[in-house]
Chains A and B, each alone.
Chain A
């Protein structure tokens, strides 16, 4: 069950999207997020969704991967949908007495669901097609000017790299600890909320102890390999903007402009 979490997981590949400069991909993702939040009509978001589907097509990553990364946020989607369906006033379609479903409510919830799905699917594409280290590298380089105002850019990037590196290791460890505690008779599936939260303690305590031990080991290993912060450090992977990066940027900006225009033309669901 823990293995299903794919956020932050990279699928090695050689597609056009994989080869884009990670800095450009970061900027594109920001533009894309704007794209997701502009439409005020589900039709506008359908256009955005088509854009994402096209991107996945180019990247060679199957859309079923998205379904897996959507699973953890399903409760949020359901919750917002229910809220929107029942609590937005307007033309009543179904009246259940104490609550009513309105036409506007349906439209708004469709918009919200599409928006969340597009947001997750699109931003996941960034982490699916960019190795985490390339990504943190891009963040480090893109935000490097902020070092001058005292932001520890290199340190933050290194922390992110290490966190990403250890996510699979710690997930694996959690699985092992859970199995070990179950073998000792721990019950994690029954009982109320309080019981279940309490059942997590014997999992979290060993996990934390082990994480700290790993951190110490890793710090020593890094020192042995002459790590001394960002100063004077070079990188094997060099970043150079290519024509394809420019093309991707132009396409995305055009897409954003298209979405803005489409949105001006479509009626807003918010009235």
Chain B
């Protein structure tokens, strides 16, 4: 099994609704990858995320997590210990009144031995760089720090995959950078599969793969370089492209020969420098 998440013709309708929130989605997420799911409000991206750890189950089609069908009620906890979730509001996902006890919450639910819980909690807090705060109360932390605690809570359960449902939407720029850093670190150095649901283009640009959703369907699914060069297609979906990509596009149109697929400021600066030295 190379895919941690595999959906086959997944459709989903909310109870009492006439329209499909998700329409015939076939998607596979490879183990160890860093995938962004992009879309504007109401595109179904959060609904899809909720299928990844069986909060919702498909109306039609199927969703398999590590080979387990999410409709198998008695394997619910096998699914949830494989795929963890971090939500948008940092305040509403912290249960305990002390950081370390919150990180321990999931492990306690799984019935892990106390010494082992202690070991894994300390480890998880170290990974997200929050070990100095383990005896703090959640309300003493900044938004970014709270999100890192939430990440540690999922990490301590040794989940193979973490789904982030707009984790930075309520954070200031500094908090956003902190959380983004933590996600990259987990993916690169700990082999955690990351699925990032977001509507920030610059965050999606930092992933390995971008899945773009619109009104319940997957409309684009490719590397960020290829997705973000389709500026027209993204615009028609009500999405923006990262600012540097747009800048490079405008430059190109006015005759300056910048290559396609520029996603970061660093890359853009390097390309412009190259052009300038060539001109001299």
Contact = CB atoms under 8 A, between A and B. Distances in A.
Interface of A: 10, 12, 131-133, 161-162, 164-165, 168-169, 172, 213-214, 217-218, 220-228, 232-238
A213 B88 CA distance: 13
B82 to A, nearest CB: 11
Contact of B85 (A131, A162, A224): A224
B258 interface: no
Interface of B: 53, 55, 77, 80-81, 84-85, 87, 89, 91-98, 100-101, 104-114, 117-118, 121, 135-139, 153-154, 157
Contacts of B114: 234-238
Given A218-B92, A221-B85, 4 more contacts: A10-B137, A213-B92, A225-B95, A235-B108
Determine chain A's interface SS by DSSP, over half rule: helix
11 contacts: A12-B136, A131-B98, A213-B92, A214-B92, A220-B87, A221-B93, A224-B80, A224-B84, A225-B157, A228-B109, A235-B104
Nearest to A227: B109
A217 B93 contact: yes
Contacts of B138: 165
B117 A165 contact: no
B84 A165 contact: no
Nearest to B139: A168
B77 A133 contact: no
Contacts, number: 100
Contacts of A12: 135-136
Contacts of A225: 80, 84, 95, 105-106, 109, 153-154, 157
A82 B81 CA distance: 61
Nearest to B106: A225
Nearest to A228: B109
Contacts of B95: 161-162, 165, 218, 221-222, 225
B139 A133 contact: no
A168 B137 contact: yes
A172 B93 CA distance: 17
Contacts of A232: 111
Residue among B85, B95, B106, B135 with the most chain A CB within 10 A?
B95
Contacts of A237: 101, 114
A229 to B, nearest CB: 9
Contact of B96 (A161, A217, A223): A161
A232 B93 CA distance: 22
B223 to A, nearest CB: 30
Given A133-B96, A165-B138, A168-B139, A226 B101 contact: no
A233 B93 contact: no
B134 to A, nearest CB: 10
B42 to A, nearest CB: 18
A79 B67 CA distance: 69
A221 B109 contact: no
Contacts of B111: 232-234
A161 B95 CA distance: 8
A228 B76 CA distance: 11
Residue among A162, A164, A223 with the most chain B CB within 10 A?
A223
Contacts of A233: 108-109, 111
Residue among B55, B106, B108 with the most chain A CB within 10 A?
B108
A208 to B, nearest CB: 15
Contacts of A161: 95-97
A12 to B, nearest CB: 5
Given A131-B98, A225-B80, A228-B109, A236 B87 contact: no
Query: Shortest 4 CB-CB distances between A and B: which pairs?
Result: A217-B92, A221-B93, A225-B106, A236-B104
B97 A236 contact: no
B109 A226 contact: yes
A162 B154 CA distance: 19
A168 B81 CA distance: 30
Contact of A226 (B81, B91, B118): B81
A233 B117 CA distance: 12
A165 B94 contact: yes
A227 B97 contact: no
A221 B87 contact: yes
A226 B110 contact: yes
B117 A236 contact: yes
Given A236-B104, A236-B108, A226 B98 contact: no
Residue among B93, B97, B109 with the most chain A CB within 10 A?
B97
Nearest to B92: A217
B139 A169 contact: yes
Residue among B87, B91, B100 with the most chain A CB within 10 A?
B91
A159 to B, nearest CB: 12
Contact of B97 (A133, A172, A217, A221): A133
